[in-house]
Amino acid sequence: MQNPWLALGVIAVFRIRNKASGRKKAVSAPLYYLKDDFEPYRSLFLEQLYQTRHYKTGEIICKSHTVWHNMMYLNSGRVKASIIQNDKEKLLAFYGQGYLIPYYVPSEVKITHLIQFTAVSDVTALQINREKFEELLSQHLKLRDDVYLSAWRLIHLLTHEVESQTLDSGLERVATFLYTYFENTGHALFEVSTRDLQSFVGLNRTNLSKYLSFLINAHVIEKKRGLIKITAPEKLRNFCSERVIHCEIMPVVHSSISEENKWKAIKDRDKSYDGVFWYGVKSTGIFCNPSCRSRQPNKENIEYFDTPQKALNAGYRVCKRCRPDVLSYNPNRDFIERVRKYLDIHFNDKEIITKYLKNSAINSKYLNKLFKIQYDITPHTYIQEKRIEKAVYLLTQTDRRVLDIALSSGFNSMSSFYSIFKNNYGMSPTQYRNSEKNE
């Protein structure tokens, strides 16, 4: 058997396919929910000497800080992977039917596994002895490659989690989690409890509720008890960490966007849908971006396409006004991203921010418009969010006086700080600090 870690390095560049949806996706995006990838090998596992194991909801299947001697093929049910430390839990991912747990490490690599796998529903699994499983890997190269790819996914997810908890804002964590779940599964509905979502993104209940409310008000998600519906994934992407925005996620076939929402985007000439879908006008034989400023067609004359190539294959010509063949054309996108990066660094210095925005290449009214198109929020509101976020961090992580926190977060007066804080959290900064200590 060749060096497994060399194989792993090669597999890292593979693109993978979601079997449920048939969509290609890249390994670059963290995967929070995995299933079906080993379903093609089920008959192979059934040929081996195996034991059928049954687990009730809440039972531990593979305990952390131990050596695992067996591999489990999930025949039914759902399992969560998490890191347990001092009675605290950090959720990493869910695993469903047709997947293998725990993660595989070659026998020559001696390691105590730190990740715990727990049943979150009734689970049936085929348990295969570790030595027998390694014999299978040596005999079936495709299985071996898929097992190493699974290990790579976990490595990538762990790296992403470290970066996320260290570098990303709370809003970015929530948006990135929801968006990458959508990208990797193709499902707009996500059944997850508030407690589990807190554990995934590393936020307390108050902050999580705040960011979910923000995304609801931005019309990108809807929420009911235990269920989140992603209604505008292309807008949700704008709130994600840049690390995820620039990774090699393949374009999604947005079949989850209803024709009603597509028609609304065309009527509103909503630029945020450019590059998400295209429409052809049967009466003219021309296809356009949703934001096209040409005369609006009748609804019954419209045909929708997932890519410009499909529109061309159907016999439509390119609109010379909006140039739909130029994917997601937006000459100001890089400029607005530079503005946001600058605000991220200098948000707490009012004088520097005022000077920067005043001296920008375009007038403030147009800047506000471009910023809102891309992030669905004005620069002023974005700065305010960043200041409040820093204030919350200092209130919960330090013993500094409230006045010092207000000033270091960029507020010039206590009255405005108290007013804005109470508007966001429904309580004063001092009350918030006390409530966090009592959690």
Nearest to 281 by CA among 316, 253, 248, 255: 316
8-state DSSP, 113: B
Find out whether 35 and 19 touch, Cβ atoms under 8 Å: no
Report the phi/psi class of residue 410: left, alpha or beta, with left for phi > 0 and alpha for psi in -120 to 50: left
**Which residue is listed with tokens 């996320």?**
164
CA atoms within a 13 Å half-sphere pointing along the CA-CB vector of 15? 11
Catalytic residue among 62, 240, 288, 319: 288
Helix, strand or coil, per DSSP, at residue 43: helix
Provide the token pair at 217. Answer: 């008000």
Contacts of 319 (CB under 8 A, 6+ apart): 286, 287, 288, 289, 292, 294
Amino acid at the residue 85 = Q
**Which residue is listed with tokens 């948000």?**
347
d(CA 348, CA 412): 10
Find out whether 68 and 129 touch, Cβ atoms under 8 Å: no
Report the phi/psi class of residue 17: left, alpha or beta, with left for phi > 0 and alpha for psi in -120 to 50: beta
Amino acid at the residue 358 = K
Rg from Cα positions in the chain? 25
d(CA 235, CA 238): 5
Between strands 79-85 and 88-95, the pairing is: antiparallel
* Cβ neighbours around 21 below 10 Å, total: 15
Nearest to 200 by CA among 309, 76, 314, 93: 93
Helix, strand or coil, per DSSP, at residue 353: helix
Q: What does the DSSP assignment read for 115-137?
A: EEEEESS-EEEEEEEHHHHHHHH
Q: Is 240 a catalytic residue?
A: no
Percent helix / strand / coil, the chain, rounded to 5:
45, 20, 35
Any idea which residues carry the catalytic annotation? 288
